[in-house]
Every structure is written in structure tokens, then in C-alpha cells.
Structure 1
Amino acid sequence: MSLSPFHLAIPVYDLPAARRFYSDVFGLDEGRSSTQWVDYNFFGHQLVIHEHPKTASQEHVHSNPVDGHDVPVPHFGVVLGWSEWEDLAERLKTFGTKFVIEPYIRFKGQVGEQATMFLFDPCGNALEFKAFQNIDQLFAK
């Protein structure tokens, strides 16, 4: 499957804290930047953090139930390879990351079985990272 990189710009109300998080905790490479925004190579995609006042979704978290967990909405992230996902989960644990949903296997033994984890950045943006043992089941019902 060949995918085009996406571009996503997100609001952050504390640019220095968000910059430390994406640079140090995730280890992402910085691209262009200014005093109000920073570009990142987000697993081959372009993520831009933009300084912005706190949004309603950052102030009050909404969630929907999925597989017995409260999944924060909105959220974004990347589908990684299985070993990449495991490495990221370990890196995040090493940095003492507080997970909203700890790394685990969702839909175990079912179509669409996947590894997943949820966390917030320092500005309340929810992120999900997942991996499939069988990537062909990404959109399976």
C-alpha cells in the first residue's frame, strides 16, 4: 500500500512544552519553525504545532466507549509496524508518559486485532498509536 504523507496542524497553548514533548519524548526531527509554530517529521508525515489559545476539546475531554475503554475524541496518530509500535511504547514508558489508555491489544482474537495506546500531549491533544499484526485488516469489518 502506497500512501501520501498527510499534513496536520494542531493547536498548542504552551509552545515550549509541546516542543520539548515532540522533540524529546517522541524524538521527532524538527523542520522549519518560527516563534509561533514548529514543523515535525511525524513518522513520515508533516505535523505542525501552532501556538493557539486553549481550545474547548483541550479544556474538556470527551470520550466514546470502544472495547471497554473511554477513547478521547478528537484524537490523531499513526498506524505503525508492530515492532515500531512496541519500540515507541517502550520509549514513552521510559519517559514516564502517563497514558490515557495503556498499551494493550484491542479486539484480541477478532478481525482487526490491533495494538493500541492513547496519550495526551502537554496541551491536551489526544494521540493514538496502533499497529496491526495483519495490515490487510486495517479496514476490515
Structure 2
Amino acid sequence: MTNVTPFHIAFPVNDLAAARHFYGTVLGCPEGRSSDQWIDFDLFGHQIVAHLKPGAANEDNLHHNPVDGHDVPVPHFGVVLEMDQWHALAERLRGAGIKFVIEPYIRFKGQVGEQATMFFLDPAGNALEFKAFADMSQLFAK
């Protein structure tokens, strides 16, 4: 793959302290700028911003679509990692006691686009997916 320009995404959280712990400590994202209303994090070179939106966690607002026999939560965001990074993150999350929406596994095994994937929620109910490809040329393969 060529150099990828970092993406930016802003998303709601209902507790900045919980977001700081989850993204900063559990996921290991370095913290950037912040205020009493938002926090910037470096998610594998991408800028994600947790914005305070008081209220209940939004887990109940998730929709699910079937993919490879699993109910994939929508919306979700995440990063495509190198396979060794993906395995290390899966172990880090397990060690932190994170409950997976979809446990780490290999999706589309033996097919075009075979990939490792896992889904979990942050404390505000935002769904995240992290994936990896043994062959990164399969990222957009049909």
C-alpha cells in the first residue's frame, strides 16, 4: 500500500473520563489536545476526537447487518492493522476484560478478502472494528 493520509472522525461519548481511560489506557492511543468538551486521540496515526454528548450510552441505537454469519453493528469505525498488531491488540483487549460484540476470528476464510476481524464497544456504546489482512492487497479485492 502507498502512504495513506490520516483520517479524522469525531464521535459522541457520554463520559470524557471513561473515554480517556478506554482510548488512552485500554487501546493505548496517545492523547493530543483536549478541553472539557472533547479529547483528541492518535489511533494508529489517525485523529479521532471524543466529543462530550451527555446522556445515556448509545448502544441501543446500533443497527446490525449480517456479514459472514455475524451481526455486524452499524455504525462502526476502526483501523486496518498489520496482522501482528491485530493479534497484539486482541490480546490487550482480552487482558483488559473487554467484552467483544464479535470475538476475534478470521472472516471469509479461504475466500477473496480473507481477514482477521473483531468488534467491541467503547464505554459510550460506539462500535469499533479492527481488522487485518495476511495479504494487504486483498483490502479492496472483489
TM bucket (normalised to shorter chain) is over 0.9
| Number of residue equivalences | 141
Q: List per-residue Cα deviations over 1:27-56 (Å, max 9, x = no partner).
A: 111011111111001100001100013489
CA distance in 2, matches of 1:127, 1:62: 13
Q: Which amino acid in the other structure matches residue 7 of structure 1?
A: H
CA distance in 1, matches of 2:61, 2:22: 21
Q: Does structure 2 retain, via aligned residues, the 8 Å contact 1:21–1:122?
A: yes
Compared with structure 1, are the counterparts of its residues 55 and 7 closer, same or farther at alpha carbon in structure 2 (3 Å cutoff)? farther
* TM-score, normalised with respect to structure 1: 0.95
Deviation at 1:58, TM superposition (A): 3.7
CA distance in 1, matches of 2:54, 2:25: 23
Give the share of equivalent positions with the same residue, in percent: 66
Following superposition of structure 1 onto structure 2, how do residues 38-49 of structure 1 map, counting pairs within 5 Å?
A: 38-49=39-50
CA distance in 2, matches of 1:130, 1:12: 23
Q: Which amino acid in the other structure matches residue 69 of structure 1?
A: H
Runs of 4+ in structure 1 deviating by more than 4 angstroms, as ranges, are 54-57
CA distance in 1, matches of 2:59, 2:11: 11
CA distance in 2, matches of 1:107, 1:129: 15
Q: Does structure 1 retain, via aligned residues, the 8 Å contact 2:10–2:49?
A: yes
Is the counterpart of residue 135 in structure 1 residue 139 in structure 2?
no
Deviation at 1:59, TM superposition (A): 3.2
Aligned to 2:79: 78
Aligned to 1:118: 119
CA distance in 1, matches of 2:137, 2:23: 30
Is the counterpart of residue 18 in structure 1 residue 30 in structure 2?
no
Q: Does structure 2 retain, via aligned residues, the 8 Å contact 1:13–1:53?
A: yes
Q: Does structure 2 retain, via aligned residues, the 8 Å contact 1:104–1:117?
A: yes
Is the counterpart of residue 88 in structure 1 residue 106 in structure 2?
no
CA distance in 1, matches of 2:139, 2:37: 36
Q: Does structure 2 retain, via aligned residues, the 8 Å contact 1:99–1:118?
A: yes
> Which moves more between the two structures, 94-103 or 13-22?
13-22
